[in-house]
Structure 1
Amino acid sequence: MYQYDKFDKAFLRNRAAQFRDQLERWQDGRLSEDQFRPLRLQNGWYVQRHAPMLRVAVPYGELSSAQLRVLARVAREYDEPEADVYRRALDAQRKLGTLRLPTHHAHFTTRTNVQFNWIPLAKAADVMDLLATVDMHGIQTSGNCIRNISADERAGVAPDEIADPRPFAEIMRQWTTLHPEFAYLPRKFKIAITGANEDRAATEWHDVGLRLTHDERGALGFRVTVGGGMGRTPVIGTLLREFLPWQHVMNYIEAVVRVYNQYGRRDNKYKARIKILVKAEGQRYIDDVENEFRQIVDHDGGPHTIPDSELERVRAYFVPPEKLAARKQQDPLAAAALHDAALRLPRLARWLDRNVAAHRDPVLRIVTLSFKRMLQAPGDASADQLERVADLVERFSAGEARVTHTQNIVLPWVHADDLLPLWRAARDAGLASANVGLLTDMIACPGGDFCALANARSIPVAQAITERYQDLDELEDIGAIDLHISGCVNSCGHHHSGHIGILGVDKDGSEWYQVTLGGSDGSAASGAAQAGKVIGPSFSADEVTEAVDAILRTYLTLRTNAGAHSETFLETVRRVGIEPFRLAASRVRSVSEAAA
């Protein structure tokens, strides 16, 4: 993992002190609400439906056990609102007949950040001081700037990796932080990077997607897409460069952003994202970027060219942990014990199949801890769970973890001999659900229970679907499927890329849900990135689970089987189209209307 140096640490301490001063001036009236708003947003502090929300940056998804423990402490000691605030929130919730809103929790987002939903602003400066002790902050988690850079959670350990993207992500993090060119963009700007053959970072759904590749001579560089994004207008990124030498990645991003800064809409926030500009201008935008890039490199001397020495300096931080050096071989006795236990314990066997992946080092494994279970919102983790994850990370993964795009936690350095004790410890902590890649391993945003922008709640829908599909045999029969839920068109739950997507919409002041089918994030299992298609009229909250059930029953009827391979849900949708599924779901609507 990258270790902050004296400059980084001093910068964060000074930034925390600066925020404390700003907070105190706002509290005593020397700063107005309008003056304070951009200052708190620059540090990740939003004001949501009921209380403030803090978004903490997790650059390229990498966390240490020490950072997990501090996040647990923030959840335990600070994530609790004043009594009257919580009482009003519960009163509003009871009118909707939902479950109690959790406190003392963190929430992992689809862009691998961490959010807290109940911290009073009066305690905000104390939290920022605490985060700074473990090199954490809220910079680049809000505002019209280049946001926290996300990456493949298996970076540096995946067998299909061409090159580790983390050194490049770290160099770009340092470069983009407080860069004046990126401080006031027309709209927020998101970058994702991967170094693997499989796109686990959903790069084509980002404003800039970077994929490491080799050219015909074997040189390392990036495939660059620009203008991807979800929201009310889902767009897949446009290919700008099939190959860009890695040395020039920052020069090229500067060209991309300069053209966007010059021509991007500032008069209408709904048309301000770069995807709108790229779609409207087409080849003209691409030509302007290339001209700007040549100006930066040829005329200005390429000021952001990455020297070999700088890449090697940063790469030195991203090497296998020293704790692994003494364990180069697998113990036959441990392997035999694991095999015997898997024969006796079906849940262990399923966990090994679903939650454990191959590692580039043959004696190591990549293990996913699932937070998806009954009565817990996708992505949520209690203070106690965070502490137990920190224990598991220290004991089994050399002190390092990764946050995933799908709102889980990955342990990237697990020795094969430790799989059985890890499973037992994770089971005891309630983190061994063998559902990774299955229906209940869904993505969901916090929705209307917390977010002031949401039209509808996501959490009750996620919980209802999870409650309906508790049978692991049934889930395995349904097979690999991505279900994503968003509470509004801002698409924080990435519903557009779900094989089944659920979008909360407002209909005459009531919560309704639109269903899409056939979306993809671009992973190997899903094929090329694409947006799902709406299957018809929206459903009430009480109808959503029944509609999903009707869609899945239709799939089980229509899928084909060839040898040991059953056609996946997405394969079936692409083969037969959405019409059979639309008809099945519409019957649920018809029955409800008849009953009413």
Structure 2
Amino acid sequence: MYKYDEVDHRLVRERVAQFRDQTRRFLAGELSEDEFRPLRLMNGLYVQRHAPMLRVAIPYGHLNSTQLRKLAHIARTYDRGYGHFTTRQNIQFNWPALETVPDILAELAEVEMHAIQTSGNCVRNTTTDAFAGVAADELIDGRAYCEIIRQWSTLHPEFAYLPRKFKIAVSGSQQDRAATWVHDIGLHVVRNDAGEVGFRVIVGGGLGRTPMVGKVVREFLPPRHLLTYLDAVLRVYNRFGRRDNKYKARIKILVQAMTVEAFAAKVEDEWLHLKDGPSTLSDADVAYYAAFFTDPAYETLAVNPAEFVAKQQAEPAFARWLERNTHGHKQAGYRSVVLSLKKTGVPPGDITAAQMDVAADMADRYSFGELRVAHEQNLILPDVKESDLYQVWLLAKEHGFATPNIGLLTDIICCPGGDFCSLANARSIPVAEAIQRKFDDLDYLFDLGDIDCNFSGCMNACGHHHIGNIGILGVDKNGEEWYQITLGGSQGNQAAIGKVIGPSFAQADVPTAFEKIMKLYLEQRLAGERFIETVRRIGLEPFRERVYAKLD
């Protein structure tokens, strides 16, 4: 993974010192709330319902064990002993005291971490496939380009005050696991007819109040032109994006208003002034950053060693965990392990300081000291020998990481909701737990198969509810919490926005609605058909009729 040079270290240290003085001045009454707000936002600090919230950047979801131990230390020392992983592959601390935030940032700087641009109207954390570099279906490892984008966008003077926040995602694999179609810019690695590798550029995706799937503005962009083309897109957005209405300020609204053809034409016109300019990437530039992402010292191993196979046959629970919580690897004899943060009774994405320490130890012992944060809010050990998987499973069980539900209904993506966020209309955590308890029977859960369930406490869609096969949105009805259900959303290569099935539900009725949806699915599905495929085949009306049969 990327290692800071002296320029990086100095920049982050100076940023900490700058914010320390800004915080001192605010607490002393020398800065007003309005003056302090943009300063704290550019350093990842929000004001939530009960306390400040600090969002720490985890660039493209990469962590090493030393960094995770530092996060554990911060959780114990400055917070309430836990953190929350987000759909942006970052971590949030929900209870720091304002006066301690500069100290937290100083400690983060010791391990090459920061909170710069994790909020505010700027380019946010670039995200990618959590299995980048180890996935068997990868065309190229896109992490070098993620780092190039991160360095280009961090404190970029031209894009520090955009009309609205801006998010970029990169996918280097055949299967899009980075939700690129619902980002402001999505970059797909592709090959052209000549076999050359480049990027398909997608612009104008996004969720929130006006969810949209992005549109292709360029089918093939040679990698050397990546930064100049991104500059052109951002310049067009910065010039023409609306600033009079924050709900209409995202680039998706601009692309829709202009039409994608007109927007792409303006980008091409702007690019004429930038193409082949100083920001053009040379082969040496790319090679320099790619050198930070070389393979670890893999061993030559047999696939499915005899003892490993015997353990699966002897312990069905281990075999079930392997099926759901491990992922194929490009290197024979290895797998990636997903440490589930979706145990029933625990807020999805939450992790305690003790668990962070355990996960760091597991990474050191079994995965070359590296971990990944998935946008599904789980942790990943990317490089585990098959012969070590049984011991990893035992440790995962002991420390609450082994719930075998990855990709299943209870692997819920969920924002913190009204328990923490001042923007939320409704709580999400207790409703997510109620759904998990309703479907806690693992045999039944496995029979249901792959189902993406996403939950947001408000229209900002931090839980990506629009692209869940089943989505839940918290809404406010006369000061009471209600919940709207959507069906048919999906991420990946067939990204789609879900549709509302009908009137919203009271909190107590949500698990029952889910139960009715699942029963109809089991009645209607064809052999081997996944939930989303059944929804697409039969449409929403049968589900609506079943769910509201006793409510109409």
Q: Same fold (TM over 0.5)?
A: yes
- Tell me if 1:191 matches 2:191: no
1:286 equivalent in structure 2: 264
After the TM superposition, which segments of 4 or more aligned residues of structure 1 sit over 6 Å from their partners?
A: none
- Tell me if 1:13 matches 2:10: no
Distance (Å, rounded) in 2 between the aligned partners of 1:568 and 1:423: 27
2:131 equivalent in structure 1: 154
SS in 1 for 2:170: strand
Distance (Å, rounded) in 2 between the aligned partners of 1:144 and 1:46: 13
- Please report how far the alpha carbon of residue 329 of structure 1 lies from its aligned counterpart in structure 2 after TM superposition: 2.2
2:84 equivalent in structure 1: 107
Distance (Å, rounded) in 2 between the aligned partners of 1:383 and 1:75: 6
Distance (Å, rounded) in 2 between the aligned partners of 1:529 and 1:39: 36
The amino acid that maps onto 1:412 is P
1:277 equivalent in structure 2: 254
| Equivalent runs, 1:476-495 vs 2, <5 Å | 476-495=446-465
1:570 equivalent in structure 2: 532
1:83 equivalent in structure 2: none
The amino acid that maps onto 2:66 is A
Q: 1:532 pairs with 498, 509, 512, which one? A: 498
Where does the alignment leave 5 or more consecutive residues of structure 2 unmatched?
A: none
Distance (Å, rounded) in 2 between the aligned partners of 1:43 and 1:520: 32
- Please report how far the alpha carbon of residue 11 of structure 1 lies from its aligned counterpart in structure 2 after TM superposition: 1.3
1:34 equivalent in structure 2: 34
The amino acid that maps onto 2:357 is E
Distance (Å, rounded) in 1 between the aligned partners of 2:207 and 2:220: 25
- Tell me if 1:328 matches 2:300: yes
Encode CA deviations 1:469-522: one digit per residue, 9 max, x unaligned: 111100011110000000000000000000000000001110000000000012
Contact 1:455 1:504 survives alignment (8 Å): yes
The amino acid that maps onto 1:449 is D
Distance (Å, rounded) in 1 between the aligned partners of 2:387 and 2:520: 42
Q: 2:226 pairs with 249, 252, 257, which one? A: 249
Q: 1:261 pairs with 238, 242, 245, which one? A: 238
- Please report how far the alpha carbon of residue 339 of structure 1 lies from its aligned counterpart in structure 2 after TM superposition: 1.5
Contact 2:303 2:332 survives alignment (8 Å): no
Contact 1:160 1:197 survives alignment (8 Å): yes
1:579 equivalent in structure 2: 541
Q: 2:281 pairs with 284, 306, 314, which one? A: 306
1:118 equivalent in structure 2: 95
The amino acid that maps onto 2:502 is G
Distance (Å, rounded) in 2 between the aligned partners of 1:262 and 1:232: 22
Task: From the superposition, tell whether residues 12 and 476 of structure 1 become closer, same or farther in structure 2 (CA, over 3 Å).
Answer: same
The amino acid that maps onto 1:493 is G
Distance (Å, rounded) in 1 between the aligned partners of 2:133 and 2:344: 33
2:374 equivalent in structure 1: 404
Contact 1:539 1:589 survives alignment (8 Å): no
Distance (Å, rounded) in 2 between the aligned partners of 1:338 and 1:522: 32
Task: From the superposition, tell whether residues 21 and 221 of structure 1 become closer, same or farther in structure 2 (CA, over 3 Å).
Answer: same
The amino acid that maps onto 1:191 is I
Distance (Å, rounded) in 2 between the aligned partners of 1:346 and 1:442: 24
- Tell me if 1:589 matches 2:520: no
Encode CA deviations 1:11-38: one digit per residue, 9 max, x unaligned: 1111111111111111111212211111
Encode CA deviations 1:207-261: one digit per residue, 9 max, x unaligned: 0000111111111110000000001111000100110001101111111111111
The amino acid that maps onto 1:400 is E
SS in 2 for 1:430: coil
Q: 1:211 pairs with 188, 192, 195, which one? A: 188
Distance (Å, rounded) in 2 between the aligned partners of 1:573 and 1:330: 41
The amino acid that maps onto 1:48 is Q
Distance (Å, rounded) in 2 between the aligned partners of 1:127 and 1:236: 37
SS in 1 for 2:188: strand
The amino acid that maps onto 1:543 is D
Distance (Å, rounded) in 1 between the aligned partners of 2:78 and 2:546: 47
Identity %: 55
Distance (Å, rounded) in 1 between the aligned partners of 2:366 and 2:551: 49
SS in 2 for 1:320: coil
SS in 2 for 1:516: strand
SS in 2 for 1:224: strand
The amino acid that maps onto 1:376 is V
Where does the alignment leave 5 or more consecutive residues of structure 1 unmatched?
A: 80-102, 591-596
Distance (Å, rounded) in 2 between the aligned partners of 1:417 and 1:363: 8
1:202 equivalent in structure 2: 179
1:82 equivalent in structure 2: none
- Please report how far the alpha carbon of residue 331 of structure 1 lies from its aligned counterpart in structure 2 after TM superposition: 8.7
Encode CA deviations 1:517-561: one digit per residue, 9 max, x unaligned: 0000125xxxx1010010000000000010011111111111112
Distance (Å, rounded) in 2 between the aligned partners of 1:505 and 1:478: 28
| Equivalent runs, 1:127-166 vs 2, <5 Å | 127-166=104-143
The amino acid that maps onto 1:302 is G
SS in 1 for 2:382: strand
The amino acid that maps onto 1:140 is Q
Distance (Å, rounded) in 1 between the aligned partners of 2:407 and 2:446: 10
Contact 1:330 1:417 survives alignment (8 Å): no
Distance (Å, rounded) in 2 between the aligned partners of 1:172 and 1:494: 23
- Please report how far the alpha carbon of residue 420 of structure 1 lies from its aligned counterpart in structure 2 after TM superposition: 1.2
Report the TM-score when normalising by structure 1: 0.91
1:239 equivalent in structure 2: 216
- Tell me if 1:361 matches 2:331: yes
